[in-house]
Chain A
Amino acid sequence: MIKHSQLKQISWVIFFSAFVIIILAGIGFLITTNILFLGFSDFMYYLQKSRTWINIATTIWTASIATVLSMFVGIPVGYMLARYKFPCQKFMETLIDLPVMVPPAAVGIFLLGLFKTFPLSSATSILGIKVDHALSGVIVAQFTVTVSFCIRLTMASFKTVSPRYEYVGRSLGASLPYAFFKISLPLAKNSLLVALIIVWARSCAEWESLMLFVGGIQGRTDVMPFAVYLDFVGGKLGWALTTSMFCVLIAIVSMYAVHRIGGKAHVR
């Protein structure tokens, strides 16, 4: 016989867990209907198309370049924000957060305007770089949106490392750059790796800002999320779904990697 108090305990747990189950049911509903709708034979058919694989390759290498670029900015700025104070800190942090919190479509428009106005318009024409309808534009857009994301994550990573280790190193005669490269960076290694993976996955998923900034040309600038949209609008639903399944796969695999490495960086 279950005691009254035990019953209460169980109903308490069940009440809260029910909400988790509701959300899981929602996700499960989305995934199963999509898989059933696509069907196995269609999936196999689109796997044999070379464009599917070209899209995947394009996405992976553009996202990788964008990630490396954002890490180059993200590590120093994140370290700075984690360790030092500066005037109007909250406002500055808000400005840094802006590119990722503003609707990405708006970022796309603003990037378009940015590359059409004076310093950058002449710089790109002198250097002969083409941003619209080219992959360099894709990388610029991915970088812009993910860099503030990256700064948030690296800042959280450096905050997990107690500054005391650096103080000890400094007191033993290490210079600040030495303490940074030999103490803080190795200690924050795991969470920085997690940050890298999340930023990479986020750049793979960037699409909205590309729509207005780069514009879609099939076979040239269509990274996976963009190909999903183009195929959907073009009526090739099966192909769009196949590509979208790969997007889901990338997201789940990278989050699994994050879970295995076990950093506790907070995405926002």
Chain B
Amino acid sequence: MSGSRRFVYVLYAITILFILSVCWLFLSNIGYTDTQSILELFSRPWFWKSVRLSLLTSSVTTIIAIVVGIPASYALSRFNIPGKTIIDILFASVIVLPASTIGLCLMVAFQYEPILKIQQALGIRIVHSMPSIIIAQLVLALAFGIKAWRAAFDDVNPRYEHVARSLGSSRMRTFWKVTLPSAKVGILAGIVLAWTRAMAEFGAVLLFSSTFRNRHETQFSHIANFLGIDRADILPVGMWMEIEGGNIEQGIAIGFVLVIITLLSVYALNKISGKGSQANKV
């Protein structure tokens, strides 16, 4: 039996070592920032504008992802749509696409001659505008959301729906009263996941939307001014700009802010998905 015990100890040791090294990865950087530069960062209006912009864009992205993604994943989970295999492969491959490819694809698509003409006719310009941040974030948020929501719907036995239908409930009522409540946990986890992903998006936004902080005041719309998000960048891009500009202390401080936001939302995610039976696990 000692062999078995040794095996368990080795497993424990590897796991604990791994968790410690993750902690060390983040904590070893505390020396690069100090309280003074953190306070300085917090007193900059640019920082708070960026926080507002980050929260706003990722929340709007999540809402769009919910509106489009939940019905789509229900359809993928329940109906025999022709070409489902190809759809599955396409959706899954978005998850493993490099951010630079996503950014470049969006860039080229919206700069393509006929599309550009349509934009000119409408009097808008999508590339390098603030709403483009939402488009860039939406790609990954939607891909991850659909994955989670589909798993949630797959976990609900369609028999419950059949029972409700046979008892005279309408399709709409069955969907709202039976399917959605049963898949509640998985759906909630998918929403948190989509939000976290939208918040963490950096590469695609950098390529597609570029930065805003050095632009002139007149380039922002009244809405942006009203919301107080003019001349701000989403947090990951802002962090990158600070580091590239040589302001390491404040850059690392923004990095820690991002780590704390992620820590909270991932913890919420794990708490939520831990409650569900099998949802969002396998």
Contact = CB atoms under 8 A, between A and B. Distances in A.
Interface of A: 8-9, 12-13, 15-20, 22-24, 27, 29-31, 33-34, 36-37, 73, 76-77, 79-81, 84, 86, 90-99, 101-107, 109-111, 113-114, 117, 144, 147-148, 151, 156, 159-160, 175-177, 180, 198, 201-202, 204-208, 211-212, 224-226, 228-229, 232, 237, 240-241, 244, 247-248, 251-252, 254-256, 258-259, 264-268
Contact of B100 (A9, A16, A244): A244
16 contacts: A37-B108, A80-B14, A96-B18, A98-B262, A101-B265, A110-B255, A111-B25, A159-B282, A176-B7, A205-B96, A229-B207, A232-B104, A254-B96, A266-B147, A267-B147, A268-B144
B63 to A, nearest CB: 14
B97 interface: yes
B72 A16 contact: yes
Nearest to B197: A101
A78 to B, nearest CB: 10
A31 B86 CA distance: 14
Contacts, number: 270
Interface residues of B, number: 92
Given A228-B104, A266-B281, A33 B112 contact: yes
Contacts of A97: 266, 270
With most chain B CB atoms within 10 A of its CB, the pick from A8, A103, A206, A256 is A103
A29 to B, nearest CB: 6
B89 A252 contact: yes
A17 B115 CA distance: 26
B239 A105 contact: yes
B263 A98 contact: yes
B240 A212 contact: yes
Interface of B: 1, 3-4, 7-8, 10-12, 14-15, 18-19, 22-26, 28-29, 31-32, 68-69, 71-72, 74-76, 78-79, 81, 85, 87-101, 104-109, 111-112, 115, 142, 144, 146-148, 151, 171, 193, 196, 199-203, 207, 235-236, 239-240, 243, 251-252, 255, 258-259, 262-263, 265-267, 270-271, 274, 280-282
Contacts of B100: 207, 225-226, 228-229, 232, 244
A94 B282 contact: no
A20 B76 contact: yes
Given A180-B7, A232-B100, A252-B93, A156 B29 contact: no
Nearest to B240: A105
Given A77-B15, A265-B282, 12 more contacts: A19-B69, A24-B90, A77-B18, A94-B266, A99-B25, A103-B200, A160-B282, A177-B3, A208-B202, A251-B97, A259-B89, A264-B282
A144 B7 CA distance: 25
A9 B78 CA distance: 13
B227 to A, nearest CB: 23
B147 A27 contact: no
Contacts of A204: 96, 98
Contacts of A207: 98-100, 203
A177 B4 contact: yes
A258 B92 contact: yes
Contacts of A113: 28-29, 31-32, 252
Contacts of A156: 281-282
A254 B92 CA distance: 10
Nearest to A247: B101
Nearest to B154: A264
Nearest to A258: B92
A156 B193 CA distance: 17
A238 to B, nearest CB: 11
B202 A244 contact: no
B280 A266 contact: yes
A106 B147 CA distance: 25
With most chain A CB atoms within 10 A of its CB, the pick from B7, B69, B252 is B7
A175 B203 CA distance: 48
A248 B93 contact: yes
With most chain B CB atoms within 10 A of its CB, the pick from A95, A104, A106 is A106
Contact of B259 (A102, A205, A255): A102
Contact of A84 (B11, B24, B78): B11
